[in-house]
Amino acid sequence: MSLLPQPVEASLPDYTASTPPPDYSAQVIEGEEVLAATHTPFSSSRNGTYSRSWNRGTDIRVVLRELVEDSTEEIPTYRQRGLICGTIYQGSVKNILQVSLKIEGKLKFSVFGNTSQTATIKVVDESYELWSKSNPQTGASANPEEIDFSYVLPTTFRDGDRDIPMPPSHEISLSGLPGLETQCSYALKILVVSRGPLWNKKHSFIIPFRYRPRSTPSVPLVTNEGIRPGCPIFHATIKSAPEVWFETLSILQTKPASGLQPVEVQIFLPAARTFGLADTIPFHTQLTGTATSIQKLYTLLSPLSASEEYRALQLTQTLSNQSTTGSISSIDSHGSKNSITKSDSINDRNYIFFGVTITRQVCVEVKDQVVWKSYNIGRGTLFPIPPPFELAMEDNPFYSDDAESVDSTKRIVNLDAAGEIRCQPDVDVGHFNVGGKVQVKDFMVIQIAPTKKSDNARSPFFPLKIAIPISLVTDSWSEHPMIS
């Protein structure tokens, strides 16, 4: 019989609790430094609050938290997937039976014409019971003096068999026949049921809020920071990086009786064609044609085509240098009228306007009745690249000695201008589409036409209008986009 060796029990080391990890903080403390950081898109500080109180038989105060700290808006604003959270404070809770939270979003749109039609879509319609005296799961034994709540806004809503992005808060009314209206509103409602002497009472406390989903362009905007707007940035990039510019070409047709050749109109703007509402958008225009055609157009262009600053300078120089045979009226800085004389022939001559605008098109469809209307939300300025539009004829380069050696009906020349355009400050909503029922689109529109329709007959050129689709979004491009 063999004896097996007895197992030897190895003694384990004494257990020592490890040092607990330090408390996490996104802020760098003394002795620390950031080695690398990943910026989360669409994130920013949310330390702001919003408070609203009522005293209608039931004292109640609602405090919303985690809002943008520096927000100065009168009502709360939430973005896509926004967290609506806060606390309900109630002063008198003796007779409270139930407290509920409701989130509502409603899109109402109408068309007016031979017949008027109106439709309403519930974008959000969610209700939650926060506290009930009869429901143990919501704290029948608790006192509802302070009730916390939270709700995450959806990004889409269901319309039939489609998921559609929730539209931003907006109110657009374009009168006339036909006309249209569209309004999208959101609200948080606190519903309180209390016991009364005969029957229960229902109280509703409403806090409207603004839904403003944010988005940014995918690429940075071509800028002219530090240099003169227009020509320098365009000429500096068009050969080395032509892909940053979008080009469109149209023809300014001439009337047969004029004997002039058509003029090519080239428009260049940033290739992405997606811009923030606050962006200053650069663009470049080039008119190409025979010297005779360009010269004729050049002499007919209105001084209003240029920028305000350039216009004021040229007007001063023109009035100081020209003889005066007619008169026009102007208003000085104090609002009084002064008589300013100017040649009637000059006024009569410059009747073609070269304008650039941002035009918003709104389309509403209700029960197979479709109405669309457009209005301007931005006006551009042009910075003439020599020779400028307002230059006097005797200073025109087409009259130089070198020009006389070439037939002006065959020589091809260019007339360049650079410009910039941005939305009006009151525009706070970009483009959106609610399943085709309400659509908001934006265009950059270039127009060369007589200022007055009555001048169409005498103009040697047919009117030209170029509409370039663009997308307007809430935010400008940023290397580290932040959203609240």
Percent share of the chain, pLDDT over 90: 48
Q: Identify the pLDDT of residue 227.
A: 54
Confidence label for 226 from pLDDT (cuts 50, 70 and 90): low
What is the Cα–Cα distance from 383 to 61, expressed in whole angstroms?
56
Q: In terms of Cα–Cα distance, which of 311, 346, 310 is closest to 326?
A: 346
Decide if 48-211 and 231-313+348-473 have a common fold: yes
Confidence label for 5 from pLDDT (cuts 50, 70 and 90): low
- Tell me what the mean pLDDT of segment 252-272 comes to: 94
Q: In terms of Cα–Cα distance, which of 149, 98, 93, 160 is closest to 126?
A: 149
Does the pLDDT of residue 338 top 50, yes or no?
Answer: no
- Tell me what the mean pLDDT of segment 184-205 comes to: 89
- Tell me what the mean pLDDT of segment 4-17 comes to: 59
Neighbours of 119 (CB within 10 A): 15
- Tell me what the mean pLDDT of segment 52-70 comes to: 81
Q: Identify the pLDDT of residue 376.
A: 96
Domain ranges of the chain: 48-211, 231-313+348-473
Q: What is the pLDDT of residues 125-164, one digit of tens each?
A: 999 999 888 875 665 446 678 899 999 999 999 988 899 9
Does the pLDDT of residue 58 top 80, yes or no?
Answer: no
Q: Identify the pLDDT of residue 325.
A: 30
What is the Cα–Cα distance from 75 to 52, expressed in whole angstroms?
10
Does the pLDDT of residue 483 top 50, yes or no?
Answer: no
- Tell me what the mean pLDDT of segment 376-394 comes to: 68
Confidence label for 375 from pLDDT (cuts 50, 70 and 90): very high
- Tell me what the mean pLDDT of segment 193-197 comes to: 83
Q: In terms of Cα–Cα distance, which of 189, 170, 183, 213 is closest to 103?
A: 189
Does the pLDDT of residue 220 top 70, yes or no?
Answer: yes
- Three-state DSSP string of the chain: CCCCCCCCCCCCCCCCCCCCCCCCCCCCCCCCCCCCCCCCCCCCCCCEEEEEEEECCCEEEEEEEEECCCCCCCCCEECCCCEEEEEEEECCCCCEEEEEEEEEEEEEEEEECCCCEEEEEEEEEEEEEEEECCCHHHCCCCCCCEEEEEEECCCEEEECCEEEECCCCEEEEECCCCEEEEEEEEEEEEEEEECCCCCCEEEEEEEEEEECCCCCCCCCCCCCCCCCCCHHHHHHHCCCCHHHEEEEEEEECECHHHCCCCEEEEEEEECCCEEECCCCEEEEEEEEEEHHHHHHHHHHECHHHCCHHHHHHHHHHHHHHCCCCCCEEEECCCCCEEEECCCHHHHHHCCEEEEEEEEEEEEEEECCEEEEEEEEEEECEEEECCCCCCCCHHHCHHHCHHHHCCCCCCCEEEEEEEEEECCCCCCCCCCEEECCCEEEEEEEEEEEEECCHHHCCCCCECCEEEEEEEEEECCCCCCCCCCC
Residue partners of 381: CB distance under 8 A and separation at least 6: 306, 307, 308, 419, 420, 421
- Tell me what the mean pLDDT of segment 425-436 comes to: 94
Q: Identify the pLDDT of residue 316.
A: 34
> Are residues 429 and 423 in contact, defined by beta-carbon separation less than 8 angstroms?
no
Does the pLDDT of residue 362 top 60, yes or no?
Answer: yes
- Mean model confidence pLDDT for the chain: 79
Confidence label for 44 from pLDDT (cuts 50, 70 and 90): low
Confidence label for 73 from pLDDT (cuts 50, 70 and 90): low
- Tell me what the mean pLDDT of segment 157-179 comes to: 93
Q: Identify the pLDDT of residue 320.
A: 32
Which superfamily does CATH assign the domain made up of 48-211 to?
Answer: Macroglobulin (MG2) domain (2.60.40.1930)
Q: Identify the pLDDT of residue 199.
A: 83
**Residue the block writes with tokens 């959270």:** 85
- Tell me what the mean pLDDT of segment 107-136 comes to: 90
Residue partners of 184: CB distance under 8 A and separation at least 6: 105, 106, 107, 108, 123, 167, 168, 169, 170, 171, 211
Does the pLDDT of residue 94 top 70, yes or no?
Answer: yes
Confidence label for 101 from pLDDT (cuts 50, 70 and 90): very high
pTM value is 0.75
> Are residues 265 and 284 in contact, defined by beta-carbon separation less than 8 angstroms?
no
Who wins on pLDDT, 198 or 471?
471
Q: Any idea which of 36-40, 379-383, 407-411, 462-466 has the lowest mean pLDDT?
A: 36-40
What is the Cα–Cα distance from 106 to 185, expressed in whole angstroms?
6
Instruction: Check if CATH label 2.60.40.640 holds for domain 231-313+348-473.
Output: yes
Who wins on pLDDT, 41 or 332?
41
